[in-house]
Structure 1
C-alpha cells in the first residue's frame, strides 16, 4: 500500500547551505547524492511525497535530473527560493503537482513552506519547513526540514504519532 511522506528544504545545488546549516557534506555533489539516496531509502516508487519548498538552486536540466531520480509522486509547495521560477517551470522539471499556496491534508495537517500562525483553536498541525535547524515552539507546529530528519522524508504516520504523543505527554 502506498504511503505519504513529507519533507522540505533540500536546497539541491546550494553550496553555501552546507556551511549555513552545518550540513555534514564535503561538497555539493556529495550533498546532492546523499540526499537522493536518503529519500529513496524510505520512499517507494508508488508513494506520494509533499515537498514543502526550497527544492533546488540548479538549472532546469540538472533539477529535472534530480527529480527523475527521486521515488514517488511528487507535489511541491513553493518555498521562498522556489518562487522566482514559475509554477510551469517546476512542472516541467518533473513535479506532478505544484502549489503556490499552503494545502490542508486529511483535515489534520496544514502544509506550508514558512511556519504559519496557528492559534490554539485551530484543528491543524502546521507541517512546515523554512527555518532549517531551528525549532518553532508549540504543539501545533512540526518542522519537516531535512536537517532534523537525517535528510529523509517522514511518513504521515510518523508525524501524526509524534504530534499525538507530544500532546498526551
Structure 2
C-alpha cells in the first residue's frame, strides 16, 4: 500500500488499562502491552517518516503514566506528528512536551489537497466553513456518536486501530451520513423560547449563493 502524505487518527489511549473494558469490541487484547504494540505496528504500516500524522487527542492515558514510556512509544511512531489536544492531554506535560512537529492546539483548520478540514478532539454541530463544504474530523466518542453531514469520528476504535487518509474518511461520510449533502443545523430565524427550540422546524439550506449571507463575509 502506498504511504500517503497525511493521515488522521484519535484516541489511542496508550497505556490505558480501562480502555480494554470500555472498548472491548475494538480492543480484544489481554493487556496494554499487546494493545500498544498492535497500534504501533498499525500506525507504521500506514505512515512513513515524511507523513504528516494528525492525532486528534487522548494520545495516552492512565493514573500511573511514566514520561519515559510515553516518549518511547512516541518515538516508535513514524511520521511528522501533530497533536490536537484532548481531555486526557491538556494537563499532562509528558504528552504536551513531546517532540510534536507543530505546537499542540485545541483546534486546527488544515488543507488536504483542495479540501478544508476542521480538526478538533470534540464533535461540533457547526464549524468554520460548514456552508462552504469544509469537513470536520473529531474523536473523543470512540465510535459511539452517530456522525452527521460532513463530519466523522476518526478515532482508532472506528478504524481498526490505525490512522486513515482524508479520502477514506470522507468516503465513509458519503456512505454512512444520509445528510452528507444537506446538513444545515442553523434555523432561518432567531430561537427565542422553548417552544421554538424543537426539532421539525425549517432549517437553513445551503447558503453559499444566498446574497444576504454572503454580505456578512465582506
The TM-score, its normalising length taken from structure 2, stands at 0.69
TM-superposition CA deviations, 1:69-100 (whole Å, max 9, x none) = 000000001100101124xx435322222323
Q: Distance in 2 between matches of 1:142 and 1:93?
A: 27
**8 Å CA contact retained: 1:61, 1:93:** no
Partner of 1:105: 110
TM-superposition CA deviations, 1:106-160 (whole Å, max 9, x none) = 1521100010122763632210000003133312211001111001100122223
**8 Å CA contact retained: 2:60, 2:95:** no
Using the TM superposition, give the Cα deviation of residue 103 of structure 1 relative to its aligned residue in structure 2, in angstroms: 0.5
Unpaired runs of at least 5, structure 2: 182-218
Greater RCO, 1 or 2 (C-alpha within 8 Å, sep 6+): 1
Q: Distance in 1 between matches of 2:153 and 2:118?
A: 12
The two structures, once aligned, show a CA RMSD in angstroms of: 2.1
Q: Give the structure with the higher percent strand.
A: 1
Partner of 1:25: 29
Give aligned pairs, total.
Answer: 166
Q: Distance in 2 between matches of 1:160 and 1:4?
A: 14
Partner of 1:129: 139
Tell which structure's C-alpha radius of gyration is larger.
2
**8 Å CA contact retained: 2:14, 2:60:** yes
Q: Give the structure with the higher percent helix.
A: 1
Partner of 2:155: 145
